[in-house]
Amino acid sequence: MTQYGFYFDATRCTGCKTCEAACRDYHNLDLGTTFRHVYELEGGGWNQAEDGTWTTDSFTYYTSFACQHCDDPACMHVCPTGAMHKDENGIVSVDTGRCIGCGYCHMACPYDAPFVDRAKGHSVKCDGCKDRIAEGKQPMCVEACSMRALQFAPVDQLPEGERAAVAPLPDPELTKPNLYIKNCAAAHAVGDTSCRVANEAEVK
């Protein structure tokens, strides 16, 4: 089996969310729903000297991710009907005919990737734009990124990067995500609690 995955060059990302916008548009997602998340993380603080001047050791960085099409997908393990499955390219997707919309996948995924579309009655999620991949195109998010920070390809063809081990993502050992990241200088390691999500309302 081929395993596709994402590569994210965090050193180029400006948090513009064009990846997310392009995805929402192409997949015609309802307001309030998204397959891709752009987390803004910040930490550090400010210090005022006796003369009134300010210095800061604060930092801010973004991480953009969608479904990681994990080697060991939590969503698949909890799916009671087998609707959630991996295809021949390693892409995790929903067999909508089998899905009963129970929402277990949504609860199990540590990346908040699948969710239940109540109107459709089944789970929905990033499918790696597999129709476009079949036509030799790139996923919408990849093609949209003005900074060329995203790639999607069989993982052995992706540039070298660390396996999704950056805060606020969960420990990659949990599900073995197929997201490889070139970290930016401001990045903090998985599990670091000195930083906080600075755009909570935008990633709900």
Decide: is 174 part of the binding site for another protein (CB under 8 A).
no
> Considering the complex, what minimum distance in angstroms separates the CB of residue 199 from another protein?
8
Q: Of residues 121, 146, 189, 192, which one binds another protein by CB under 8 A?
A: 146
Q: Is 105 helix (H, G, I), strand (E, B) or coil?
A: helix
By the rule CB under 8 A, 28 interacts with another protein: yes
Q: Give the SS3 label for residue 12.
A: coil
In sequence order, what are the residues at sequence separation of 6 or more whose Cβ sits closer than 8 angstroms to the Cβ of residue 200?
none
Phi, then psi, of 189 in degrees rounded to 5:
-70, 160
The residue within the footprint of another protein, chosen from 5, 17, 65, 122 (CB under 8 A), is 17
Q: What amino acid is encoded at 166 in this protein?
A: V
User: Could you tell me how many residues make up the chain?
Assistant: 204
Closer CB to another protein, residue 58 or residue 81? 58
In the chain, what is the straight-line distance between the N-terminal and C-terminal CA atoms, in Å?
33
Question: Is there binding between residue 148 and another protein (CB under 8 A)?
Answer: yes
Interface stretch with another protein, choices 54-62, 88-96, 103-111, 121-129 (CB under 8 A): 54-62
| Interface pick for another protein out of 1, 4, 62, 76 (rule CB under 8 A) | 62
What beta strand segments (E) does the chain contain? 4-9, 37-43, 46-48, 54-56, 59-65, 84-86, 92-94, 115-117, 122-124, 150-154, 162-163, 179-182, 195-197
Member of 6, 61, 104, 180 binding another protein (CB under 8 A): 61
Instruction: Show the site string, 77-106: x = touches another protein by CB under 8 A, - = not.
Output: ------------------------------
> By the criterion CB under 8 A, which residues form the site for another protein?
10-18, 20-22, 24-26, 28, 31-32, 38, 42-46, 48-49, 51-56, 58-62, 140, 143-148, 184-186, 198, 200-202
